Amino acid sequence: MGTLASRVLGMVRDMATASLLGLSGNGVMDAFVIAFRIPNLFRRLFGEGALAASYLPVLSARLQRSRTEAWQLTSVTLVWLAAVLAAVVLLAEGACAATWYWYGDVPGMTLLVGLTAVMLPYLFFICLAAQVSGTLHALAHFSTPALAPTLLNICWLVAICLVAPRFTADKETQAYILAASVLVAGVLQLAAQVVMLRRLGFRFDYHWAASREALLQIVASLGPMVLGLAVTQINGFFDSLMAWFLAAPADGPAPIAWLGGGVTYPLRQGAVAAIYYGERLYQLPVGLLGVAVATVIFPLLSRHAARGRHDQLGGDLSLGLRLVLFLGIPAGAGLVLLSHPLSTLMFEHGEFTAADASRVAGMIACYGLGVWAFCALPVIVRGFYALGDQRTPLRVGAKAMSANVALNLLLVWPMAEAGLALATSLAAVLQTTLLMVEFSRRWGNLRGGEIGRTAASTLLATACMLIGGWLTLACLPSEPGTLVVALRVGLTMTVGSAIFFAVSHKLRIRELDLLLGRHP
């Protein structure tokens, strides 16, 4: 429920941002998205990724032995992480200054570098906050870390609704105000979680000698985990950079000078923002399903692994995968079906035009095809990490990244930015499939027959849902207007959901009973 509150508030935030800055807007939103992605990528690596995955099993083992040893490890990790992050921020700020000096005359570069410089310190605070979140997870406290992101959304909304439009009408200045609100939110997220950690008994106790070996163990497993667990985030960041460089300086076809002038730009201004808004829609089910299940199940898998209970680990991992497939498949199909009405309803306000909404709709549909894989990835990868296997996700992740790059180059010219979204979805499907095969081959029974039956039954229920949803859309009025579009979205979702769960009940899909609290 905490994750739901955060994600829903995040959607409200993005609706307000779209209304204020639009999609292209002379590249202001594109620059803001790139600048925000840099610290946000680190947040995902640390908050939902590598450091938490490498840190939590070691901390859990210390907690079982002694709270004092656990607090010592937590203190040492926080101190060293703060030192590394401070160095990274200082070096990055220096790189921003150098880029501004040498390339400040490149169109849009001054704004991009300026926004990046303002938001870089957010990296320091949010990564420390993510480390505190991991400690709270080890203590079986999940509500505060789940609710902490709402502080970012609240600060962002205050800046959009109360500060930026009243302070100035200049879009670039408004973007700087939003950047400052992001930095304030990072400080608040860290402070809120530190307060809760103190309430749960944490006391700062820096003891290097007692924690050195454990810290080195965490660092040794950190590198492989970065690529293995954060491929989707890295692919998304690469897609945004590619969209930035392959977007024409102004609307309309233009030759690419640095490719000899014989090839035209495949993208227009606003491509980076279209990727961002499309991602925000598919990340709602991913956050509610994939990340939430992975966050809660990882301590359980780690305990099974520590006790050598591989059969129980495989069974619980299989259950986690079946749950996210049961909900992820229809969620993705619903995004494909409702991509255009959703884009219109959520974003077509203020500076955001109907043409902008159509561009984002294509992104939503292409990302929707891979929602089930995006949801399953954080779950299956944590199964490997609970067993101490970092190499397999690393190897498979490298293949997925290579596939994403190749598909980007193949699809961007015929499909524009939608090709980048489709490439990312296909790469996620490839990565998920390979990881499930590898887990069954290397670590034992993942109960593939049960996963297959759940997937087949869910696909049948989803097909019925799509037919009912399509017929509902066909029967409803299609005139423009917020109320009409809201009716189309709301009624179609209601009818589709009812059909899906009714068919699932008839098919006796076990995961439905589990979600309803019944034991099948």
DSSP secondary structure letters along 7-40: HHHHHHHHHHHHHHH-S-GGGHHHHHHHHHHHHH
Residue 201 has pLDDT above 80, yes or no: yes
Average confidence (pLDDT) over 134-152: 88
Range picked from 51-55, 93-97, 249-253 for highest mean pLDDT: 93-97
Residue 283 has pLDDT above 60, yes or no: yes
Mean pLDDT estimate for the chain: 88
Q: Which residue has the higher pLDDT, 224 or 388?
A: 388
Average confidence (pLDDT) over 6-30: 87
The pLDDT confidence band at residue 59, using thresholds 50, 70 and 90, is confident
Average confidence (pLDDT) over 249-278: 81
Residue 52 has pLDDT above 80, yes or no: no
**What number of other Cβ atoms are within 10 A of residue 85's Cβ?**
20
**Helix (DSSP H) and strand (DSSP E) numbers for the chain:** 22, 0
Q: Out of 140-149, 221-230, 332-341, pick the least confident.
A: 221-230
Buried b (16+ CB within 10 A) or exposed e, 268-294: bbbbbbbbbbbbbbbbbbbbbbbbbbb
Token code pair at residue 321: 């995968």
Residues 6 or more apart whose Cβ sits within 8 Å of residue 301 = 313, 316, 317, 382, 383, 386
Per-residue pLDDT tens over the stretch 114-134: 999 999 999 999 989 988 988
Residue 104 has pLDDT above 80, yes or no: no
**What number of other Cβ atoms are within 10 A of residue 373's Cβ?**
26
Residue 117 is predicted with a pLDDT of 96
Average confidence (pLDDT) over 455-460: 96
Residue 209 is predicted with a pLDDT of 87
The pTM assigned to this predicted structure is: 0.85
User: Could you tell me which residues are beta bridge partners of residue 255?
Assistant: 264
Range picked from 314-323, 386-395, 408-417 for highest mean pLDDT: 408-417
Residue appearing with tokens 């495989």: 314
Residue appearing with tokens 């608040």: 188
User: Could you tell me which residues are beta bridge partners of residue 267?
Assistant: 247
In terms of phi and psi (left: phi > 0; alpha: psi -120 to 50; beta: otherwise), the region of 412 is: alpha
Average confidence (pLDDT) over 293-313: 80
Token code pair at residue 213: 């070996």
Residue 389 is predicted with a pLDDT of 84
Per-residue pLDDT tens over the stretch 463-513: 999 999 999 999 998 888 889 999 999 999 999 999 999 999 999 998 888
Environment class of 515 (CB within 10 Å of its CB; exposed 0-12, middle 13-18, buried 19+)? middle
CA–CA gap between residue 514 and residue 1 (Å, rounded): 17
418 touches 343 (CB < 8 A) = no
Environment class of 475 (CB within 10 Å of its CB; exposed 0-12, middle 13-18, buried 19+)? exposed
Average confidence (pLDDT) over 147-172: 92
**Three-state secondary-structure class, residue 264:** strand
Closest Cα to residue 272, out of 404, 349, 363?
363
Residue 49 is predicted with a pLDDT of 57
Which secondary-structure segment (H or E) carries 358?
Answer: helix 354-368
52 touches 46 (CB < 8 A) = yes
405 touches 238 (CB < 8 A) = yes
The pLDDT confidence band at residue 109, using thresholds 50, 70 and 90, is confident
The pLDDT confidence band at residue 434, using thresholds 50, 70 and 90, is very high
Q: If you ran DSSP here, which 8-state letter would residue 258 be given?
A: G
Tell me how far the alpha carbon of residue 230 is from its chain's centroid. Answer: 9
Per-residue pLDDT tens over the stretch 371-410: 999 999 989 988 888 888 888 988 999 999 999 999 999 9
53 touches 225 (CB < 8 A) = yes
Residue 101 has pLDDT above 70, yes or no: yes
374 touches 282 (CB < 8 A) = yes
The residue type at 327: L
Residue 48 has pLDDT above 60, yes or no: no
Token code pair at residue 398: 């490298």
Residue 50 is predicted with a pLDDT of 64
Tell me how far the alpha carbon of residue 97 is from its chain's centroid. Answer: 29
Task: State what percent of residues in the chain have pLDDT above 90.
Answer: 53
**Three-state secondary-structure class, residue 247:** strand
DSSP labels for 39-53? Answer: HHHHHHHHHSSHHHH
Closest Cα to residue 367, out of 322, 431, 435, 424?
424
The pLDDT confidence band at residue 258, using thresholds 50, 70 and 90, is low
CA–CA gap between residue 243 and residue 277 (Å, rounded): 14
182 touches 119 (CB < 8 A) = yes
Residue 264 has pLDDT above 90, yes or no: no
Residue 252 is predicted with a pLDDT of 64
**What number of other Cβ atoms are within 10 A of residue 155's Cβ?**
22
The pLDDT confidence band at residue 62, using thresholds 50, 70 and 90, is confident
Average confidence (pLDDT) over 200-226: 83
User: Could you tell me which residues are beta bridge partners of residue 415?
Assistant: none
Q: Out of 221-230, 331-340, 410-419, pick the least confident.
A: 221-230
Residue 146 is predicted with a pLDDT of 84
